[in-house]
Amino acid sequence: MTYCLAIATKEGMVFCSDSRTNAGPDMLSSYSKMHIFQPAPDRLFTFLTAGNLATTQAIVARLKYDLENPDIINLRNCAKMHEAVRYVSQVCREEHSFAQSATASAGIDTSASVIMGGQIAGGDHGIYMLYSAGNFITDSDQTPFLQIGESKYGKPILDRILTRNTSLEDAARCAIVSMDSTIKSNATVGAPIEVLVYERDTFESNHYIRMEEDDEYLRQIKQSWNESINTAFSNLPKFEWEYRSANQTRS
């Protein structure tokens, strides 16, 4: 499996992905699922991929390949984010259809999902979730994040913390905690964890970090979170019967 998420705030975007792939539980490998494209100085795109690895690799390879062809729409020459998303969703649909037609008789699931985020100068930054079928959704003010893969374990913390006004650094920490909770609870999601922080209107991958399991900052985050959660827990209000038994002890 996979867990990837993207967050869009007023200040910019955060992307976070794990690196575990598996073909059955006995064939685990490690692949980056974060693909950063900066085909011109006025634009930056990030893709997070989940699903069939052959399909997602085909999609990413195709996006690269198309860059060299100025006669078609590609990531270098498209004028607006909406145009870029429509182009990428078309690529997703084609690559998935191709894989599907070749494997139909084998019962193999060749579907893939992609989170795309980016900004082109003159327009806003935005994040999108693209399905195999080629349709896509974006985020909302109420839910300023998108997830693909094993999304349930890490959703509660996103629901509790994230708004459009969250700072980029807090959003990145929230993504890391969400990822850590998922890794702790599900063996098919695993390090290295990649995080990209993008400040709007910079068109640069401002802060990229890649954390192995024993990464010092990751260790600090995990330790701090675990200690705080335990403290938070011990501060929860007591049940009414606990006060009663406390009173009995004193009397």
Segment 125-154, which members bind its own copies (CB under 8 A)? 150, 152-154
Q: Interface mask (CB under 8 A) for its own copies, residues 178-197, using x and -?
A: ---xx-xxx-----------
- Of 62-70, 71-79, 129-137, 157-165, the segment contacting its own copies by CB under 8 A is 157-165
CB 63 within 8 A of CB 91: yes
Q: Which is nearer to its own copies, 41 or 239 (CB)?
A: 239
- How many Å apart are CA 237 and CA 251, to the nearest integer? 22
Residues in the chain: 251
Q: Which is nearer to its own copies, 46 or 181 (CB)?
A: 181
Cis peptide before 156 (omega within 30 of 0): no
Report the chain's terminal Cα–Cα distance, integer Å: 57
CB 196 within 8 A of CB 207: yes
- The distance of closest approach from Cβ of residue 75 to its own copies in the complex, given in angstroms and rounded to an integer, is 27
Cis peptide before 192 (omega within 30 of 0): yes
- The distance of closest approach from Cβ of residue 247 to its own copies in the complex, given in angstroms and rounded to an integer, is 15
Among 174, 175, 191, 193, binds its own copies (CB under 8 A): 174
Tokens of 244: 């009663």
Among 76, 164, 207, 210, binds its own copies (CB under 8 A): 207
Among 32, 134, 138, 170, binds its own copies (CB under 8 A): 170
Size of the site for its own copies (CB under 8 A): 44
What distance lies between CA 41 and its chain's CA centroid? 24
Among 111, 161, 188, 200, binds its own copies (CB under 8 A): 161
Which DSSP symbol is given to 224? H
Q: Which is nearer to its own copies, 105 or 234 (CB)?
A: 234
Please choose, from the candidates 209, 205, 218, the residue with its C-alpha nearest in 3D space to the C-alpha of residue 32: 209
- How many Å apart are CA 142 and CA 183, to the nearest integer? 26
Q: What is the 3-state secondary structure (H, E, C) of 45-57?
A: EEEEEEECHHHHH
Segment 212-241, which members bind its own copies (CB under 8 A)? 217, 220-221, 224-226, 228-241
Q: Which residues bind its own copies (CB under 8 A)?
A: 150, 152-157, 159-161, 169-170, 172-174, 177, 181-182, 184-186, 207, 209, 217, 220-221, 224-226, 228-242
